[in-house]
Structure 1
Amino acid sequence: MPADRKPFRVLFVCMGNICRSPAAEIVFRKQVDEEGLTDAIHIDSAGTIGYHAGKGPDPRMADTLRRRGYEITGRSRQVTSEDLRDFDLVLAADEDNLKDLRRLDRAGTYRGKIRLLVEYCVEKEASHVPDPYYGGQRGFEEVADLVEDACQGLLDSIKRQIG
């Protein structure tokens, strides 16, 4: 990456930042690293609520990802209006998260960069990434499947943008 180019910044957002958005951050980070783009793409995640601030990913989500070969990292934090300004793309897990992000963007200044993560799915069709928190293991596997697909589509899209 040229020294004068800033990294492309991606923020993944769900409600609590312990299941879906950290899963996307972890999966996308590995995909980016494997492409040798670590310096070109900055990745983070946050939640629309701060209830779990400072906590790591949900143990069930972490176990699901670990079994798929991912290194588990990160701590929960709440999304801020500064995040909307600072990130190039803010990707919500579902429509409720999208609405919360749009409310945070009162003036609509950043509307064009706030999108649903599933818009980047290539193989799978889904309207949102479902919250697995109150379900069983199948829900965590479904989240991992959707996130892996969407993150690959996202990476392909960003690679086209940054050249």
Structure 2
Amino acid sequence: MHRILFVCTGNICRSPTAEVVFRAKAQAAGLGERVFVDSAGTAGYHVGEPADGRSAEAARRRGYRFEGQIARQVRADDFETFDLILALDAGHLAALRRLCPPARRDRLALLMDHASSPWVGTDVPDPYYGGAGGFDDVLDRIEDACDGLVTRLNAAPLVSGKS
């Protein structure tokens, strides 16, 4: 079982979008039973709230469903629970590195490290204060990176010997 956590700021736009997109793509690729996916925020601004309605609507138009997404903040035990913790931008990655025990930092990466050119290694921009087009741009980037992550999972296990 591969345990993957997606992390953004408040866990209402980018990281829950990555969670639902990756879950759908993993399921379509036959990996549904081999992955556990969740999302969280580096800050507690929206703890207990559902995903942003604009994110949910943009995702719905592409066939994704936000069902039961409730914002939560990253917890200390996440660094033990998850095999791969993917930040949606460099600021989140820096925050995770500060929180993460040194022995677990190898589990941290940017989601966009799995993307194709020209997005590889870039940040997923925060659509919260922008217009509706920003949510579609976020989806474009996340879909691309999730395709790359699914390919990686199919090619070689993220964590060997773990079930």
TM-score (normalizing by structure 2): 0.91
Q: For 1:124 and 1:58, locate their aligned partners in 2 and report how far apart those are by CA, in whole Å.
A: 27
**Secondary structure in 1 aligned to 2:102?**
coil
Letter in 1 for 2:10: G
Mean Cα displacement is larger for which, 13-22 or 33-42?
Answer: 33-42
Q: Specify every segment of 5 or more residues in structure 1 that has no aligned partner in the other structure, as ranges.
A: 1-6
Give the match for residue 103 of structure 1: 98
- Within the candidate set 125, 143, 147, 1:148 is matched to 143
Tell me the CA shift for residue 50 of structure 1: 1.3
1:116 aligns with 2:120: no
4+ residue runs over 3 A deviation: none
Letter in 2 for 1:22: P
Q: For 1:162 and 1:114, locate their aligned partners in 2 and report how far apart those are by CA, in whole Å.
A: 16
Tell me the CA shift for residue 36 of structure 1: 2.1
Matched-pair contact (CA < 8 Å) for 1:92–1:98: yes
How do 1:5-16 and structure 2 match up within 5 A?
7-16=1-10
Q: Specify every segment of 5 or more residues in structure 2 that has no aligned partner in the other structure, as ranges.
A: 159-163
Q: For 2:66 and 2:12, locate their aligned partners in 1 and report how far apart those are by CA, in whole Å.
A: 11
How do 1:13-162 and structure 2 match up within 5 A?
13-73=7-67, 74-105=69-100, 107-125=101-119, 127-162=122-157
Tell me the CA shift for residue 62 of structure 1: 0.4
Q: CA RMSD in A?
A: 1.4
User: Can you list the C-alpha shifts for 1:130-159, whole angstroms capped at 9, x where unaligned?
Assistant: 000000011111100000000010111112
Letter in 2 for 1:75: I
Letter in 2 for 1:129: V
User: Can you list the C-alpha shifts for 1:51-81, whole angstroms capped at 9, x where unaligned?
Assistant: 2111111000100000001111211100112
Tell me the CA shift for residue 162 of structure 1: 2.8
Letter in 2 for 1:94: D
User: Can you list the C-alpha shifts for 1:28-47, whole angstroms capped at 9, x where unaligned?
Assistant: 01011112221101100000
Matched-pair contact (CA < 8 Å) for 1:124–1:149: no
- The count of aligned residue pairs is 156
**Secondary structure in 2 aligned to 1:21?**
helix
